Every structure is written in structure tokens, then in C-alpha cells.
Structure 1
Amino acid sequence: MKYHVEARNVVKRFGPTVALNGASIAIAEGETHALVGRNGAGKSTLVSILTGLQPADEGEVLFAGEPAPALADRDAWRRRVACVYQKSTIIPALTVAENLFLNRQTDGGVIRWRALRARARELLDTYEVDVDVQALAGDLSVEQRQLVEIARALSFGARFIILDEPTARLDGPAIERLFARMRSLREQGVTMMYISHHLDEVYEICQSVTVFRDARHIVTRPVAGFSHDELVGAMTGEATAAYQSRARTPGERVVLAGEGLSLAGRYREVDLTVRSGEVVGLAGSASSGKVGLAETLVGLRRPDAGTVTVDGVRVRPGDVPSALRAGLGFVPEDRHHEGFVPLLSIAENATIPIAGKLGRFGTVSPSRQRARAVQLIDDLDIKTEGPGQPVGDLSGGNAQKVVFARALVDDPSALVVINPTAGVDVKAKQALLGAVEDAVERGAGAVLVSDDLDDLRVCDRVLVMFHGRVVKDVPRGWTDHELVAVMEGIEQ
């Protein structure tokens, strides 16, 4: 078999930590090959080596049978491989055309803007990306930004693309459009490595799958005939059952309420109540308004009309501190930009909401901060060297647990969590959903917004939004078909 890219017996160490231990992968020309594994399995380290961002300590990388270029030869790397990361590298303040040809606007001399825009349109037309080249990148949807990044990657001449959690922030229809584009690229001879924690996607779009566990290569097999249970077992080293939601009876006390909420262009005339001991889901497409509504509940958005009440206290519209003081905990949609400060420690990040309670006269007691952080690390099973470790050094799943720790640190009366398991592995997903249910069992109420139907199974009921309105309150016990039919406007 002719391989487009190979990594052979790769070893990578970071101090005492072995990030890759003799790991290998071989991707056939023209195939879409999945790389899966739990957070910390070594996937991100392999990506950094396959893209030439850092060298392997041992082993080798080959492209079409030839040794990889020298690390300093960035142009040679770009011609061989490109990566579309989960965290967008598009610059919001620049136009689409400027992003597509960043640092390549001209071969020398002044920039000819009309010619640049023409080149950009030609490039996007080639890969069937329907985006205005003069639009600011910051005004694009997540889906559009990803397509622009793919087009930019291919413009260097690379025929091997790594897609790192590309669907983490896309809804169902956008995912299907992305997969259609990937199939088209494969027909054009583009080879892809697909990294995802959504195993159903692996079966839908990939031909082969490689599993990493504990920094090692475990198995490579064709997707066909590789059962879901076998795949999860290879990832975890054990048989892993699907998360089982806990039975509970909600109380009578209303801990979070929205009344008559409207925000132009996002949602209108929404009423919502959450009782203690209850998890209420919000479901719908990306244009349904569900995320905008959740962000209004926590004060990130100011509604045009309506009120928000937390545990009986009316909070000031569009005022996050007011909502937090009233007893709200929040897990944002984008942990990289809104969830934590990468260079601060776990202890500092997790205790930000209670910093004023950890000392006197505006100071923070290091011992009290550390003790609270140690408790949260234990409660959420955060894999770390200790509370002093920077959050930016953690795997995605463990970083998300720190975001949860911050939301839970002050024992909130109500929780609002948005796409809490995006980009985390099956074990971390169980821990995070368990943390929501633990808080609810202590008497809190929760709003859980998710594009993942498995997340919504922990909910006592799911409010489905369609074009800015709540169209149905679906009780526990729904099937995928029933919920998706309402989300897509087929049934109401």
C-alpha cells in the first residue's frame, strides 16, 4: 500500500513526561483516517510533529516515502501538510481575502487589492466555499471560518490535511455540509487525518482508524467491522458503558427563571423556569437562539425585553457580576477564550469567583486558595501535577474540568453550561455530566445547552428552540428521531 504520510516509532518527552512512546501511524494516499484516544493519549503531540512545529526525540516522519523537511523550512512543510485546529487561527479583524493570503499578499512591492480579492474568489470557488472575500472574518460563522481555513491550507499546495475536532462547535446540518465537503476533497485526491471524540462521526466519514492510549499506538483497523464497543475498549483499556443518567425528583423552588426574554436577531418571547434538583436542556440548530438565550441568562448578553431571576433575585440585565452574586455558576461555550486564563494556575483559575472570600483586606491566602483547589481537583478527578500547574498545560478534558471547578466553587444555586463536553473524551464526558448531576442533587438547578444528544439525556426535560422560539417542552424518554424532528422543524 502506498502511504501518503507515516510516523514511525516516534518518541517525544517533555521533561519527565513521555508524551509519545514509540507511537506510529500510517495513512494511505487519498483516505480519511481517524486518530482517536482519550485526552492526554498523545494526539496533539503527534499533530505538532506531523506539522513540523517540534521535532521528535526519536523516530521519523515520511511524506510519500520521503523524509520530512528540516524544521526551519516552513514553506516545505506547508506544501506537505496543513492543520485546521479546533481553536481557529483566522484573524477576526482582517477580511477573508487577507486571511487567505496572509503574508502572501504580493511577491514584492505594493499590494494590488483588486487582484488579491480576485485570487481569493478563485480559490474559494475552486473548493466551493460560498463566502464574501471582502467580509471581515470576525463576522463569519464557525462553519464559514473552518471552510476558509481549509481553503487556505490547500492554497499552499498541501494534499494532506489534519482536521482537529472540526465539528466541536457545529450543529447537525453544518456537520453534514462539512462532511460533504470532505468527501468532495477526498474525490480530488486529498488525504485527511480526522481527530474527534465523536465516534459516530468516525464511522460516517473515515475509512480507517488508529487508536492511541497512554502515549502508545494501540491498534489500526478499517472502520468497517470495528464495533463501537471494541473501539471504546481500545481507547480506554476497558469496556465502557454509555453514561447513565440518574433518576431524581425536582423540588418546587424556582432557582432560575427568564420571563418575556427577547433579543433582536436571536430569540423572542421566551419564558423559562428551572427548579432545584432539575436539569433543563436547550436544544436546536445553530440559528435557533439557544446559545444567545443561555448567554443572556448569565449576563453576557443584554436582552431587549424581559427579566432574569436567580434564586428569587432579579439580576441586572447584561451584568455578569450581578448574576454571579445572585448565585449563578457558568460554563461558557468557548473554554479557550472565555473559560480560563492559560498562564494562571489551576488554583488561581478555579477560585477566581471566591477570591474575596479567601483572605482579608483584599488579599488572598495562598494556603486557603490551595486547599480549596485541592478539594476541587479531587472532586472532579482533574489529572494534574498539582494546583500550581498552569491550566494551559493541561489536556482539553482536564482544562474543561477546571472551567467546571470555577463554576462550582461557590456552590451555586443555578448552573448554565454550554456545550460542556465538546472536544473531550468519553471518560471526561462522564465526569463532566456527573458534575452537573452532583450539583443538582445538592439542590441546584441547571440549564444544559448542547449539540450532542447524548449530553441531553441527563436532562429532566428539553426545551427545543426553532428560529428563536421555544417550540416544544420534551420530557425525559425521547428518542433521537423524535428530538431531531422537532429541532429541524419537521414536528412541533
Structure 2
Amino acid sequence: MVTAPPVAQATGITKRFGPTVALHDAGITIRPGETHALVGRNGAGKSTLVSVLTGLQAPDEGSVTFGGRPAPRLAERDAWRQRVACVYQKSTIIPQLTVAENLFLNRHGRGRGGLISWRTVRDRAREVLRTWSVDVDVRTLAGELDIEQRQFVEIARALSFGARFIILDEPTAQLDGAAINRLFARIRDLQQQGITFLFISHHLQEVYEICDTVTVFRDARHILTAPVAELPRAELVAAMTGEGAAKGGGPSRRPVAAGSPTVLAMEGSAVEGAYHDVSFRIRGGEIVGLAGAAGSGRTEVAETVVGLRAADTGTVRIAGVRPRPGSVPAALRAGVGFVPQDRHQQGLVPEMSIADNGTLTIPERLGPRGLIDGRRRDAYARSMIEKLAIKTPGPQLPVSGLSGGNQQKVVMARAMANDPKLLVLINPTAGVDVRSKEFLLGKVEEIAESGTGVLIASDELDDLRTCDRVLVMFQGRVVAEKAGDWHDHELVAAMEGVDLDV
């Protein structure tokens, strides 16, 4: 019997971005008609592989084939669309255009005089949606569709180019349980019609529900490929974390004093579409982790604490004070220090100096009646530079001239400037080198030793090792609490929604 060639195959793929090796001799083979899962922790190389498979990036080494034939040249975009399409977690649908306009964007076809026949466009759009069983009015503005409908429209658009291989990148991240079930039903229907899927997800229980085969990447390398039905969940988690998986480091710290005051009390808090019924407390001197994969709600909980979001229900108290919900200034006055998720978008004003960036939260300490004393500001900045070992010729250097690790130290300095009772950090070591990461986490421990409570919201295991305990979130709820001696395997499993006892 003649075996059909793989729908898609990547072999020996190596891709570097400067000194960073994003993929090293990695590969994947996807067979016709299957739903093939690609899983791995952040930084494993999944996104880079997708960019290679879709022709957005050329590999430095290795090859890609579709149906046994070499992939098109990167410039041949139409040829790529006929072979592969990707439906991303962040929608590429243009909300101001109708469904029909989105389906045939830049390929409307023209009638007499070169004018677009909108009637023909709408008729073609109806035919595409009917063929792939998508029940949406083609005249509807895409911005009026819900997330589930937009995904189905994007899948239909991909199929309309001729592709029969679809990459789904975190397709369930923003869907509720009922919508996920409908999506999975559509995937199974499309499989019966000869469509092949590459399914990328942080939720491992979904891999066992919908996928036939799973491939694991770790540290930019291919680790294993196996039939899902033959791979125990514990072995899948072990492949993602590595055989040398470590334990958390919380117990090595000085125990939190029994009489330490509560510096954070969140009770019954909820934000629609993000998280539900979250309650926990942090005492002075305690480091608490808030772990979870993308879409788990961990970031939104942390942003609620610091006033970037207002909860729909529930309360947040900082050191006994209930700041006005959704107000960052009120949270700062109550005693919060904050390191945001993205230092570039939320943490720094790039053309302002180190001194100005580091003192944005304490103008009242820098001079009377709102006036800033430059000497006082610079004196504070110099002490901050020394305390955090920021490599700079002086406090007047724009922060845009610093390395990523030193920029993050400036953000940390500003968070510490108001002597916070509670320090909240979201992905605090993202995009910094190993030495800067160790330094920053060591500084967090120092801050906790001084009596400040710390909340670290992150999916990076190294960020969480210093925690006294870790709360794990999954699909908007706190599903587990782990003491400081947790093991990588069990924490990752909880974050991915997997019960290792099953």
C-alpha cells in the first residue's frame, strides 16, 4: 500500500535571532487528516516553528515540505496560502469591515469598468460559509461577531484560499466551555472532510480530548512525538519540563513571622471574561506566586490589585485600606509598588532619563508644592543606581540607552521608591539575561525580608521558585495551592489543567 506523504514536514530546522537560538535542529511531521498537537513551555520554539511553517521566516538551516514537495519561496504568498494557514489567538479580522469584505479582502474581483461587484462578493462569501457550515450573515460588521464566530470566519477564509492544513494557535484561550466544545465539534467535522490541523495549546487536557498525535518542544529542540492515546500525562509533563526538573525554593527562606500583618486581602473578586471568585491573602514578608498559563487570569488578577482593572465583584484591601477600584494612584497611596508585564509599553518612558523614570511615583518627595528639586531627584537616582547595580554613566542617561536587564532594574527601582507595603510583579524577569534575572529575584527576597509582602504573577518557573507558596490559576479560577517545596512536574501539570493521577 502506498502511504500518502506528510501534509507538512519540517526537518532539521535551526533559526537564530542574533545570539539567541530559537530552534536547533528541530522538526515535525504532520500526517494527512490528523489533529497534531504542538506543546512546550514558553521559549520552547513553538512560535518560531509556526513562522517557518507559514513562510513568515526562512530557517537558517533545514527544510520544509508540503505533500512531499518543497515549500514555495517566501515571496510567493499566494502559494503559501494554498498550502497552509494560521488562525492566531489574536484575531486578524478587521472589525470595521463586513464578514464578506474580510473573507475576500484584496481579492474582490472586478466587473465592467474595473469596479467591484459587491453583490458578487457577498454571493461568493455566502457560498464559502455554506460550504464550511459557518452560520454568519455576510453583511454583518466583523466587529459585531463574538470571539467564536470570528474564529470560524477565519477558518473559512483560510480554507477559501485552498489550504487544507490549518494551524490553530491557542484557539481556546478566550472561549468558554460551551464554545470550546463547539470548536472541537467543528474540528472533527472538518477532519472528516480531509482537513489537517496543527493544534497549539497550553491546556494539556485539550490535547487529550481533540488530538491524535503530540509533539513536544523544549529549549528550542524537538523532544518527542507520540500518539496521544499511548502517552501517559505524567510522561508528557516530564517531556515539557525535562528530567532534571527542580523543586521550588521557598522553604530555604526565613519563615514568615506568625504575627505579620495582612498586606493584601482579595475577597470574592471577579472580572467578566477574565477570572471568577478569587480570594487569597498575603502577609508582610511573604512571597506568594500566582501561576498560570496564558489566558488563565493570573495577569488580570494582579492588574486588579494594582488598580489597572476594576473588579466587577469582590473587594481588594491593601494593608487594611480599600483603595478606589480601577485607580492606580489610589493603589499607590495605599502602599502598592508595581512592576508591569511589559516594561516597554507600561513601565518606561524611553526618552526620559533614568532619574525621571525612577521617581515618577514619588514627585511629592522631590520638592514642595509639586515642584521637583533636581538635586534631590538625582540624589535618589544615584542611590537607586548603586542599590540595584544599574550599569550607566549617570542618572541623566535616557533609559532607551540601557540594556533590557538594566531597564528592568529601573522599573524595579520605581516600584520600590514609595517604600511599598505590597510589591506586585508580573513576569518580572521577561526578556532579561540570566545574571540580571538572578539579581532581580535576589532583590525581591531582600524586599520581603524587610517586611514587604510580594505577589509574583508569572508562568516562568524560575520566577516562582523563591515563593513561600504558589496559587495556580486555570481558566479563570484558582485551582490549586502549592507549598514552597513544589516540583516542576506537578506545578506545570496544575497550570496546564492536567491531573497526574488520571
TM-score for the superposition, normalised by structure 1? 0.65
Question: Which residue of the other structure, out of 302, 320, 329, is the alignment partner of 1:321?
Answer: 329
What is the match of residue 414 of structure 2? Answer: none
CA distance in 2, matches of 1:245, 1:452: 25
For residue 149 of structure 2, give the secondary structure of its aligned residue in structure 1. helix
* 2:11 aligned residue: 8
Q: Report the residue type matching 1:322 in the other structure.
A: A
Superposition RMSD in Å: 5.2
Contact 2:289 2:456 in 1 (8 A): no
How does 1:469-484 map onto structure 2 within 5 Å? none
Summarize deviations over 1:322-353 as a string: whole Å, max 9, x none: 22432346799xx6xxx4536988999x9999
Between the aligned partners of 2:381 and 2:216, the Cα distance in structure 1 is 44
Residue equivalent to 2:236: 231
Aligned to 2:202: 197
1:380 is matched with none
The 5 Å alignment of 1:1-400 reads 1=3, 2-107=5-110, 109-238=114-243, 240=245, 255-256=263-264, 274=281, 276=283, 298-300=306-308, 309-328=317-336, 339-341=342-344, 355-356=359-360, 361=374, 365=381, 368=384, 372=388, 387=405, 400=427
Q: Which amino acid aligns with 1:451?
A: Q
In 2, Cα distance between equivalents of 1:96 and 1:231: 40
User: Residue 160 of structure 1: CA displacement?
Assistant: 0.8
Structure 2 stretches of 5 or more lacking a match? 367-372, 392-402, 410-424, 432-436, 484-493, 498-502
- Aligned to 1:193, what secondary structure does the other structure show? strand
Contact 1:123 1:155 in 2 (8 A): yes
Cα offsets for 1:161-209 (capped at 9, x unmatched) = 1122222333333322222222122111111112223222222221112
Alignment CA distance shift 1:366-1:79 (3 Å): farther
Q: 1:171 to 1:18 in 2, by over 3 A?
A: same
Change over 3 Å in CA distance of 1:259–1:177 after alignment to 2: same
1:371 is displaced (CA, Å) by 6.0
SS in 2 for 1:10: strand
Distance 1:103 1:3 in 2: 31
| CA distance in 1: counterparts of 2:313 and 2:38, whole angstroms | 47
Q: Report the residue type matching 1:368 in the other structure.
A: M
- In structure 2, relative to structure 1, the CA distance for the partners of 1:386 and 1:262 (3 Å cut) is closer
The answer to whether the 8 Å contact 2:289/2:464 transfers is no
Distance 2:456 2:201 in 1: 25
SS of 1:152's equivalent in the other structure is helix
- Tell me, in whole angstroms, the C-alpha distance in 1 between the residues paired with 2:349 and 2:429: 7
2:475 matches 1:451 = yes
Cα shift at 1:260: 11
Does the CA contact (< 8 Å) of 2:100 and 2:138 recur in 1? Answer: yes
Is 1:229–1:239's contact at 8 Å kept on the other side of the alignment? no
Q: Rate the CA distance shift 1:306–1:31 in 2: closer, same or farther, 3 A.
A: closer
Shift of 1:98: 3.4
Cα 1:297–1:231 shift into 2, 3 Å: closer
Instruction: Mark the CA change 1:341 to 1:52 in structure 2 (over 3 Å): closer, same or farther.
Output: same
What residue identity is the alignment partner of 2:405? P
Separation in 2 of the partners of 1:232 and 1:261?
A: 31
Q: CA deviation at 1:27?
A: 0.8
Moved more, 26-35 or 318-327: 318-327
In structure 1, distance between residues paired with 2:49 and 2:330: 44
State whether residues 159 and 190 of structure 1, in contact with CA within 8 Å, keep that contact through their aligned partners in structure 2. yes
Rate the CA distance shift 1:296–1:123 in 2: closer, same or farther, 3 A. farther
Change (3 A) 1:386 1:195: same
What is residue 369 of structure 2 aligned with on the other side?
none
Report the AA paired with residue 384 of structure 2: R
Deviations 1:67-110 (A, max 9, x none): 11111111111111111223332334444443333323444744
1-structure distance, mates of 2:256, 2:179 = 35
Conserved? CA contact 2:110–2:117, under 8 Å = no
The CA deviation at 1:147 is 2.7
- Secondary structure, in 3 states, of the residue corresponding to 2:230? coil
Q: Structure 1 residues 292, 145: closer, same or farther in 2, change over 3 A?
A: farther
Which of these two proteins has the greater Rg computed from alpha carbons? Answer: 2
- TM value normalised by structure 2: 0.64
3-state SS of paired residue (1:313) = coil
- How big is each residue's C-alpha offset from its partner over 1:247-285, in whole Å with a ceiling of 9 and x where there is no partner? 99997956456899999x999xx997856479899x9xx
SS of equivalent residue, structure 1 residue 153: helix
| Contact kept? 1:415, 1:447, Cα under 8 Å | no
CA contact (8 A) 1:163 1:192 kept: yes
CA gap 1:226/1:260 in 2 versus in 1, 3 angstroms: closer
CA distance in structure 1 between the partners assigned to 2:355 and 2:42 by the alignment? 24
The residue type equivalent to 2:479 in the other structure is L
- Distance in 1 (CA, whole Å) between partners of 2:173 and 2:319 is 32
Go from structure 1 to structure 2 and tell me whether the alpha carbon gap of 1:199 and 1:262 turns closer, same or farther (over 3 Å shift): closer
Query: Given residue 356 of structure 1, which amino acid in structure 2 is its aligned partner?
Result: L
Give the Cα separation in 2 of the matches to 1:306 and 1:223. Answer: 41
| Alpha-carbon distance between aligned partners in 2 of 1:244 and 1:230, rounded to the nearest angstrom | 24
Q: 1:186 to 1:354 in 2, by over 3 A?
A: farther
**Residues 389-426 of structure 1: CA deviation (Å, up to 9, x unaligned):** 899xxxxxx99444799999897768596xx54xxxxx
Check conservation: 1:298, 1:416, Cα contact below 8 A.
no
